[in-house]
Amino acid sequence: MQSDDELLKLRPPIQYGASVNFSTIDTTPGAVSWAAPPQPVDDYTHWLRVQFKHHCAIPQYLFICANRLFLKNIPVEITGPYKAELLAAMKTVIKL
């Protein structure tokens, strides 16, 4: 299992100040998405927690997408191998 320090180095490709499309999220490693690690990780949920704690945009993006999907019923297309883990994290954030 990868350490927190190793996971912290695997930052998602976030371009602060750039427009973010919250209607589609790709969790595929290497994808240009706030929810995508730059390379495959052993435990996506743990990777997401580390990013959540250390990058100010991740909690905001996670909550925005969870709010859209679960509270406002606005479609959010989630793709990639970590789709189930991301949905579980969104449910936790929104407390469903």
Confidence at residue 82, expressed as pLDDT on a 0 to 100 scale: 97
Can you name the residues that pair with 24 across neighbouring β-strands? 77
Confidence at residue 16, expressed as pLDDT on a 0 to 100 scale: 56
Distance set, CA 38 to CA 3, 75, 94 (Å): 16, 25, 26
Confidence at residue 46, expressed as pLDDT on a 0 to 100 scale: 93
Buried b (16+ CB within 10 A) or exposed e, 57-70: ebeebbeebbbbbb
DSSP-assigned letters across all residues of 9-58: HS-----TTS---SSEEE-STTSSSTT--SS--S-HHHHHHHHHHH-THH
User: Which sequence spans correspond to the domains of the chain?
Assistant: 4-94
| Single pTM value for the model | 0.83
* 39-82 tens-digit pLDDT: 999 999 999 999 999 888 889 999 999 999 999 999 999 999 99
